[in-house]
């Protein structure tokens, strides 16, 4: 049966559908005497897309013949939009029997939801040709409320509507706030004009309610949910959950965050950085480095000349686009500032995945 526009649905019987059709319901069916009837409530409207079948809607309401109380087959039928309840389904679905500590974790459904890690370009499209504004909507600012909004004390990473990942770059026993969906600090709404005009919506300011710490990694819960799914410029990133994703090592990563200083420090920045393997990183630093640290170098400044260098603040993220899903997966959180004398060091998110899931709740 065909899905019917809201306009046609209401025009067919406004008295009945007027108080039932909303953002989470829709109409479908015919007006020729064929359709669903009494006893079909809860049945599914299934659609096929690229050789796969999807549940699109659930039979929820229909008009009846006044005298008999049975269905009126010459009226459209109302369906609940199943796609708009995915997050609720993930939060309440039964635990799987998967024995993997991450994929089988009861809280894995709380991450990688909906449009996480969205990439608006084809896989392989050069990262430096993408606009920065609204391209990395999971990068957040973390600061004390009394700090100037022109200065980003700490970067962070939105992993679902309720949680961010960051590091120990603020006093977490004090009041801490998070700014989501920003591009240029100090501006309520951002726009760029080159190479094309792009504007993002207003930022969202949220306090944090609690935090958990392991080593230098912080998992913080927001006091109120982020506008994930309701704003194009506020979205969560995906995290590596499958064995393949967790074991994958990329030669290059995309680094995003705000810098400590410089003319461009008010703007969210991006760079493509190269992986430094563990052994060479230890030799360059002249000390032991934990296996839970990823070392990288900024390709855009291979000389590391101090006159060119302006460092990214702690909490900056490295991520990579997975070919299979064409989504960004986050792999590291920057621990401190190198000041152009040593490789940048990032907490390896993969090694903390079980701890992250252990401490999350709906």
Can you tell me whether residue 172 is helix, strand or coil? coil
C-alpha 163/C-alpha 171 separation (Å) is: 18
Q: Rounded CA gap, 271 and 184, in Å?
A: 17
Ramachandran angles phi, psi of 128, nearest 5°: -75, -5
Tens digits of per-residue pLDDT, 121-179? 999 999 999 999 989 999 999 998 778 878 888 999 999 999 999 999 999 999 999 99
pLDDT of residue 155: 96
Look at residue 259 and give its three-state secondary structure. Answer: strand
CB 219 within 8 A of CB 160: no
Non-local CB neighbours of 51 within 8 Å, separated by 6+ positions: none
Residue 317, classified by CB atoms within 10 Å of its CB into exposed (0-12), middle (13-18) or buried (19+), is buried
Instruction: Identify each DSSP E strand in 132-224 by its residue range.
Output: 139-143, 154-158, 163-167, 177-180, 191-192, 198-199, 204-214, 217-222
Using one digit for the tens of pLDDT, what is the confidence trace for 29-42?
A: 888 888 888 788 89
pLDDT tens digit sequence for 72-81: 888 899 999 9
Ordered by where they begin, the domains of the chain are 3-88 (2.40.10.10), 108-358 (2.40.10.10)
Q: What is the distance of C-alpha 283 from the center of its chain?
A: 36
Identify the pLDDT of residue 96. Answer: 64
DSSP state of 85: G
Instruction: Give the list of residues 6+ apart from residue 270 with CB closer than 8 angstroms, or none.
Output: 127, 128, 132, 135, 136, 254, 255, 256
* Token representation of residue 71: 């269905």
Q: Write down the pTM of the prediction.
A: 0.76
Low-confidence ranges of the chain (pLDDT < 70): 50, 67, 94-96, 299-310, 340
What single DSSP character describes residue 128? G
How much is the pLDDT for 303? 46
Q: What is the pLDDT of residue 181?
A: 93
β partners of residue 256: 270, 317
Positive or negative, the CA dihedral 124, 128, 133, 137 is positive
Q: What is the pLDDT of residue 124?
A: 93
> Using CA atoms, how far apart are residues 178 and 164, in angstroms rounded to an integer?
9
Task: Give the model's pLDDT for residue 279.
Answer: 94
In the numeric block, the tokens 């603040």 are attached to 313
Running DSSP on this structure, what letter comes out for residue 118? B
CA distance 61 to 20: 8
- Which helix (H) or strand (E) segment is 278 a member of? helix 278-285
């Amino acid at each position: 049966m065909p899905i019917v526009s809201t306009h046609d649905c209401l025009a067919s019987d406004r008295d009945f559908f007027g108080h039932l059709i909303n953002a989470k319901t829709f109409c479908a069916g015919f007006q020729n005497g064929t359709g669903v009837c009494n006893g079909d409530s809860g049945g599914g409207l299934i659609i096929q897309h690229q050789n796969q079948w999807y549940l699109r809607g659930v039979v929820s309401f229909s008009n009846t013949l006044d005298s008999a109380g049975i269905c009126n087959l010459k009226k459209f039928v109302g369906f609940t939009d199943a796609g708009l309840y995915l997050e609720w389904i993930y939060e309440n679905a039964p635990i799987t029997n998967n024995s993997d500590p991450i994929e089988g974790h009861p809280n894995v459904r709380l991450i990688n939801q909906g449009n996480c890690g969205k990439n608006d370009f084809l896989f392989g499209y050069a990262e430096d040709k993408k606009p920065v504004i609204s391209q990395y909507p999971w990068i957040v600012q973390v600061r004390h409320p009394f700090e100037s909004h022109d200065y980003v004390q700490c970067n962070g990473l939105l992993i679902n509507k309720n949680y961010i990942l960051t590091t120990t770059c603020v006093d977490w026993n004090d009041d801490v706030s998070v700014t989501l969906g920003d591009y240029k600090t100090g501006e309520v709404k951002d726009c760029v004009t080159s190479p094309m005009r792009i504007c993002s919506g207003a930022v969202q300011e949220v306090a944090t309610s609690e935090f958990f710490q392991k080593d230098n990694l912080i998992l913080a819960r927001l006091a109120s949910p982020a506008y994930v799914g309701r704003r194009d410029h506020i979205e969560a990133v995906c995290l590596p959950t499958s064995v393949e994703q967790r074991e994958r090592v990329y030669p290059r990563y995309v680094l995003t965050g705000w810098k400590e200083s410089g003319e461009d420090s008010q703007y969210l920045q991006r760079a493509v950085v190269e992986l430094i393997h563990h052994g060479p990183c230890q030799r360059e630093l002249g000390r032991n480095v934990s296996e839970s640290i990823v070392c990288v170098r900024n390709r855009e400044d291979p000389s590391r000349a101090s006159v060119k260098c302006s460092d990214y603040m702690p909490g900056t993220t490295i991520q990579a686009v997975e070919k299979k899903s064409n989504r960004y997966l986050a792999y590291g959180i920057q621990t401190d500032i190198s000041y152009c004398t040593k490789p940048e060091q990032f907490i390896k998110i993969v090694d903390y995945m079980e701890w992250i899931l252990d401490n999350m709740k709906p």
